[in-house]
Structure 1
Amino acid sequence: MLRSPRLCAGCVYLHCPSLCCSAGSRRSVYVQSTLRRRPGYRTLERDLIQLQQQQLFQIFVVVSLRKGSSGNTYSPEITQQFPKMVRNQAEDQLNVIPKFCFPDAQDWKPSAQMPSETFSFVLTGEDGSRWFCYCRKILPSGKGKRLPEVHCIVSKLGCFDLFAKILEEVERRREMSAALVYPFMRSVMEAPFPAPGRTVTVKSFLPGSGNEVLTLCRPVDSRLEHVDFGSLLQCVSVGKLLQVFASLLLERRVIFVADKLSVLSRCSHAALALLYPFTWQHTFVPVLPASMLDISCSPTPFLIGVLAPCLPQLLELPIEEIINLIPDLCQLGDEDCILPSKLQAALQQILEDREEILRQQDGDSSGDQQAGLSALVSEAFVRFFVELVGHYPHHMVESSNGIKELQRDNFRKSHPSRGVRQLLQLFMDTQMFAGFIQDKELRKGGGKGLFETRAAAYLDSYPESEPCGVNKFLKGLGNKMKLLQIK
């Protein structure tokens, strides 16, 4: 096996002046051999196909704080669970859930008032499978100081807004009586996972209100199911966001730091959503418990979130090649020149002018601003990848035994942009790219996803020899973006 080079971990401070670590000027990129490809790469398309017709969730648990035998220390424990699982079933996942539900150890104390907060984390199994855990921390109803508890839904489905709505209903019932929660969750479990753009109704009885119907809807566009680009852009400047994107693109290590669980959760998921149609194959921990900070010493790629009070403890760890923290994004020295200049300029213009673009699109209509922003940002980054790798079908060659294979050198050298060729030289050695191409090589027929549709339109509209440019990028975003022009 190839041994990965040692990397600097990038610290991005959300909501505050960004903290970062500076490293040597030597380019240090995590390189994974694509010659020994392991089966089972995760791809968005494959996940969506496998998850159709599944139940909405696997487990629902309540995690409470229990006072220790000595002093005023507390430890999180699962106090309720639905449904009851067979012994040893998913036991490892269940054992770690309490730590992730209460990662903010400094807040483990009774309180008379506490705002509810929704956040999420992801558990990854040895086989690469992922469990999405959607949580809502609440203060149970009562008088005087009380300990918070966390309601956690564990699902194989990545659809944050849908589960956040369920958790709000759970909290509403919990405020009336804990006995009302489980009948509601039983109704939710029996409901099928809706297809994109479709809705599913959950019927339940609520004292004083009678029978109630909760309508759950999935976005038409699967890219937008787990993202809040608005929060990410509020917390990170456009320039730093593009540096984060470049670091993730080359599978480096990124640490987000924020004061709130919800901010870490939303920003971490949104950052990875920028990589569509590629799928992050490495460690992803949106909110890292204080007791597990040593994960940040790992030499392999990761995206993790750390609460701000844990930062002093984090800095004491032997994280490789960190020299100091300065008010900027953690850099290896090349984050500003990883992305091809013209593509980066186009992305930057769209992100900086996003409010004006959306205003011109909507006119006097208020519309759903968050959905509009998410669609705009997502479409811009899809366009980036269309410009970067959209020509791959021209270089997929089918052998005599019917197996397709990418002609890697021809694919890279054929692009007319020198900047794109330089990025491809590095990007083609990532696991994300290996998984994407393997999926294309193994796929036999079948429908085309959104990226393939955009790439086909791109190849039909422009000569293969035409270099990419800012104007072409902006025009290629489609009807929604055709108002964009570079003068």
Structure 2
Amino acid sequence: ESYSFVMTNFDGSRVYGYCRRLQPLDSSLPEVISIISPIDAFNMYMTLLNEIEARRRISFDQATELIAASFGRPLPKPGKVCHIRTLDISGDMETIFLNRSADNRLENVNYESPLYYLGTDRLVKVFSSMLMERRIILCSSNLSVLTQTVHALSALLYPFQWQHVYIPLLPHEMLDVLCAPVPFIVGVLSVFLPEVLKLDLEVVFIVDLDKKNIVKSQGDESTILPKRIQKALKTAVNMCKIDAEARNVQWLMVAEAFLRMFIETVGHFSNHIRTQQDGNRIFQKDGFILEVISKEVREFLSWFTETQMFEVFITNHVEKLDFGTS
């Protein structure tokens, strides 16, 4: 069983954990192989975990030899390859190639999980709550389903990024984190849900993925997005679900459906970045909102432009313009 987690430091930087749980033949207890890294490269580390697991099923020594060979190797840059020389399961010397994707945005993104466990209506409600930067808790008894769903939901925000507490798998000892008065997206094992419900939680959206139902909500989730945008989004997602022939690219179709929503609502943002006489660039929010004809979309933008994810997005874009990289 594979799963992953993310730890957020006080400065906002993140550390990524990649895990593989297995039952060795020479042990009565299950083991977990964990890799902790400062970079988000799911596919690369899953390749390494596959190699470690294959050796661990033969002997502990073969697994530790590969782990030792991996230590000290420089992290490859995006689009590059890391080479690790070690003994294979037959005892012969081999080279393992670890490819780091040039664009990891859709790595470990399995949209089949949220589509199946949430369904279209609940998926759009969770997405709307994320845009409002609310407190969101997902529950499941399955580690892989839980972490994959949390990762997939976070990826739907592209080109924006969740700026608050983000914990795909919250340990039992850290349940008190849910009482913090800050926005978060958190995954919790279902066995702990009764304890979560006993906490004094306000303005929280809780979904039980196993039972496919909303446990707690504010009741306004269906009104957050403009009706026309919401209808188009649901139609696109439903088309992704029924197009069986395109199942192998379903994840891309879902991602594009949500990306089109952002293009339609905020795609004109660059028209309202102005250069002042002193050379500084500013974003003219009022003009950005007023350019939109639809009253509903203007109302949506009036609060969305106040979110931290939008502010960081604009700030990063302006900085790229200043450095000539946009």
Normalised to the residue count of structure 1, the TM-score between the two structures is: 0.61
Deviations 1:324-374 (A, max 9, x none): 999536322221121122222222112111155462xx6xxxxxx45x122
1:221: Cα distance to partner?
4.2
* Paired residue type of 1:121: F
* Paired residue type of 2:120: V
- Superposed counterparts of 1:112-127, under 5 Å: 117-127=1-11
Cα distance change of structure 1 residues 339 and 170 upon mapping to structure 2, 3 Å threshold = same
1:255: Cα distance to partner?
0.3
> Are 1:438 and 2:324 an aligned pair?
no
Identity of aligned residues (%): 36
- Superposed counterparts of 1:135-174, under 5 Å: 135-142=19-26, 146-174=28-56
Q: Distance in 2 between matches of 1:164 and 1:223?
A: 16
> Are 1:299 and 2:176 an aligned pair?
no
Q: Distance in 1 between matches of 2:316 and 2:228?
A: 29
Deviations 1:130-150 (A, max 9, x none): 00011112223226xx22222
Q: Which has the larger radius of gyration?
A: 1
Q: Distance in 1 between matches of 2:117 and 2:177?
A: 24
Cα distance change of structure 1 residues 181 and 240 upon mapping to structure 2, 3 Å threshold = same
Cα distance change of structure 1 residues 321 and 230 upon mapping to structure 2, 3 Å threshold = closer
1:151: Cα distance to partner?
1.2
What is aligned with 1:399?
276
What RMSD in Å do the two structures reach over aligned CA positions? 2.4
Cα distance change of structure 1 residues 402 and 158 upon mapping to structure 2, 3 Å threshold = same
> Are 1:130 and 2:7 an aligned pair?
no
Cα distance change of structure 1 residues 227 and 321 upon mapping to structure 2, 3 Å threshold = closer
Q: Which moved more, 1:161-170 or 1:417-426?
A: 161-170
Normalised to the residue count of structure 2, the TM-score between the two structures is: 0.90
Q: Indicate the structure with greater helix content.
A: 2
Cα distance change of structure 1 residues 141 and 191 upon mapping to structure 2, 3 Å threshold = farther
Contact 2:20/2:34 (8 A) holds in 1: yes
Contact 1:406/1:437 (8 A) holds in 2: yes
- Superposed counterparts of 1:429-468, under 5 Å: 429-443=306-320, 444-448=322-326
What is aligned with 1:349?
235
**Match among 78, 97, 100 for residue 195 of structure 1:** 78
What is aligned with 1:335?
221
Contact 2:24/2:31 (8 A) holds in 1: yes
> Are 1:286 and 2:168 an aligned pair?
yes
1:289: Cα distance to partner?
1.2
What is aligned with 1:94?
none
- Superposed counterparts of 1:82-101, under 5 Å: none
> Are 1:309 and 2:186 an aligned pair?
no
SS at match of 1:305: strand
Q: Distance in 1 between matches of 2:292 and 2:198?
A: 45
What is aligned with 1:108?
none
1:277: Cα distance to partner?
0.9
What is aligned with 1:72?
none
**Match among 136, 144, 149 for residue 262 of structure 1:** 144
What is aligned with 1:70?
none
Q: How many residues align?
A: 320
Unpaired segments ≥5 residues, structure 1: 1-116, 363-368, 449-487
**Match among 166, 178, 188 for residue 60 of structure 2:** 178
Contact 1:131/1:156 (8 A) holds in 2: yes
Q: Distance in 1 between matches of 2:199 and 2:225?
A: 31
Q: Distance in 2 between matches of 1:291 and 1:138?
A: 23
Q: Distance in 2 between matches of 1:183 and 1:405?
A: 54
Q: Distance in 1 between matches of 2:183 and 2:74?
A: 37
> Are 1:380 and 2:257 an aligned pair?
yes
What is aligned with 1:422?
299
Q: Distance in 2 between matches of 1:407 and 1:323?
A: 33
What is aligned with 1:411?
288
Contact 1:170/1:181 (8 A) holds in 2: yes
What is aligned with 1:90?
none
Cα distance change of structure 1 residues 239 and 220 upon mapping to structure 2, 3 Å threshold = farther
